[in-house]
Amino acid sequence: MVNYKEKIGQILIEADVALSYEELLDTIEVPTDKSMGDYAFPCFKLAKAMRKAPPLIAKDIAEKISSNEIFDKVESVNAYVNIFISRQKFVESIITEVNEKEDAFGRSEKGKGKTVIVEFSSPNIAKPFHIGHIRSTVIGNAIYKLYDFLGYDTIRINHLGDYGTQFGKMICAYRRWGNKEDVQREPIKTLLSYYTKFHEEADKDATLEDEARSIFTALERGEPDEVELWKWFREESLKEFNRVYKMLGIEFDSYAGESFYSDKMQRVLDELSEKGLLQESQGAQIVDLSEHSLPVAMITKSDGSTLYITRDIAAGFYRKEHYDFYKNIYVVASQQNLHFQQWFKIVELLGYDWAKDCIHVPFGLVSLEDGTMSTRQGRVVFLEDVLNRAVEQTKNIILEKGVNTDNADETSKKVGIGAVIFQELSNNRIKDYTFSWDKVLNFEGETGPYVQYTHARACSVLRNAGNSVSGLGDISKLDMKYVVGDAAFELSKLIYEMPEVIEDAADRYEPSVLTRHVVDIAQAFNSFYHEEHILVDNEDEKLAKLALVAAARIAIKNGLDLLGIESPEKM
């Protein structure tokens, strides 16, 4: 695909403009006012070197380059050279490339030979997979897909919360009030009820906390009874988690959680001690980070037990040595900002330069309309319930409106679950938000269903024409003079920008950049659809317009796929 900014830079170099190629690229602008051209070149920087007033320089440059065939028009306005690129050549190059590449449109080999780890989702075993987990889950999956699409060898890790004192509490509660049949029937909800009851009873009887600590100590020592219960809780929890992941279409390459690193932490303690970073404080072991404007990091408690930070450092060592990562990305809530700052700094102080390749991608928190969620109090909204309700609501709409679909159940799943994911990825990830059933199930406006419907509309146009992408023949031979109107050109420009948007979304770890662009493409397609008569009698005109419809369909489908959303062909 032609990079028009680079091409204009080359043309300006040939016109003897007194700037380097790199300076030219930095100077070329895209005007916000479309009447001022597709690109603009301000000439203020040239005045000193060329000993001329900027408006005169702009006039000379415009005259020199106006005859180039890639431009429809070049004009000088005050100190600016305003450039209007050839719409026909532009649209022809975009439509041809997109239809030739299809699913590979926007893909690149930028990351070839480089490994990127994305850690995301990471729910706690024996606790509910609630609406708060959706953020890490779908943001992380989108980041994984973006990096994979850009050619990186991308590893998905679900760092399960399967270690810690909460398991002492869970085992204690199960032994006192639980039974096997209830856990097998509804693992997470039952275990949550035990966990909630433990805290209720512990408020009345403080000895329960001591009992739970004693049980966890036995688990750490590998006592058979405690280990057996822990493994059972883990297996039952994973069954429920995987049911939700299947609904979301998400898979992982590794489920190595906190417990996986329990035998790898001594190395961390040894290295910290050897390098003089470990200090004792009231029986605990710490690393003093005050010189680096960070608070003290506790490495072990006074009873010798380790903390999250110890396990995360151990995990970092393992991942670098096992995967030799180019980037090690953690999609974890902004509440943990300090935690990541501390352990990244500790790894750096240990002398490992790969600390700079560890990246925390924070996101805002989800709260309920009546306050914050609390696992201890049992105040949660289960993610599976949200997805099921979205699917059910979608099916009701499909049946009420008599939507044209081959399979109402399958379409309901794609659209309902897509609506939930799209809403999560629509806004900047760092923003906090309040969960609302009304918002999740609102399909009006700039939503996932709107974009999916636009994709289905494009598919319908192609079907009604009796064509498919492959049935359009040699697209490079089509006459693109029929798709140079404003609506067609605006749609083509947005499709053209998509590969750059994909890279930008990956570089910023911000899927919403792509989400917003896919909405823009859908809106531009609908404008084209309403302003242009596509299925006309003139065969050449019809085929050219169908080629643009096919390109828009591909761009929308590829964008939705990178967000983890399916694209129904009928809606």
d(CA 211, CA 527): 67
Neighbours of 76 (CB within 10 A): 21
Burial 382-400 (b: 16+ CB within 10 A, else e): bbbebbbbbbebbbeebee
Helices and strands per DSSP (H, E), number in the chain: 21, 12
Distance between CA atoms of residues 528 and 486, nearest Å = 9
For residue 130, indicate whether it is catalytic.
Answer: yes
Beta strands in 273-357 (DSSP E): 279-281, 284-287, 297-300, 327-331
Work out the angle at residue 24's Cα, subtended by the Cα atoms of residues 19 and 30, and round it to the nearest 5 degrees. Answer: 150
Please enumerate in sequence order all residues whose Cβ is within 8 A of that of 419, keeping only pairs 6 or more positions apart, or say none: 390, 394, 440, 441, 443, 447, 448, 449
Q: How many CB atoms lie within 10 A of CB 413?
A: 21
Catalytic status, residue 159: no
Q: In a 10 Å sphere around its CB, with 0-12 CB exposed, 13-18 middle and 19+ buried, how is residue 524 labelled?
A: buried
- Are 545 and 538 in contact, with CB atoms under 8 Å apart? no
DSSP category for residue 207: H
Catalytic residue among 5, 73, 89, 127: 127
* Residue type at position 158: N
* Biggest alpha carbon–alpha carbon distance for the chain: 90
Which residue in 133, 159, 327, 413 is the catalytic one? 133
Q: Contacts for 270-273 with beta carbons within 8 Å, 24 or more apart?
A: 271/350, 272/299, 272/346, 272/350
Provide φ and ψ at 151, rounded to 5°: 95, 5
Q: Are 148 and 564 in contact (CB under 8 A)?
A: no
Please state, in angstroms and rounded to a whole number, the distance separating the CA atoms of residues 67 and 63: 8
Helix, strand, coil percentages (3-state) for the chain, rounded to 5, are: 60, 10, 30
d(CA 537, CA 8): 38
Considering 130, 413, 455, 517, which one is annotated as catalytic? 130
> What is the phi/psi pair of residue 326, to 5°?
-85, -40
Phi and psi torsions of 405, nearest 5° = -150, 145
Query: Quick one: DSSP state of residue 211?
Result: H
DSSP state of 29: B
Q: Which residues, other chains included, contact 30 with Cβ-Cβ below 8 Å and sequence gap of 6+?
A: 38, 39, 40
Residues marked active site are found at 127, 130, 133
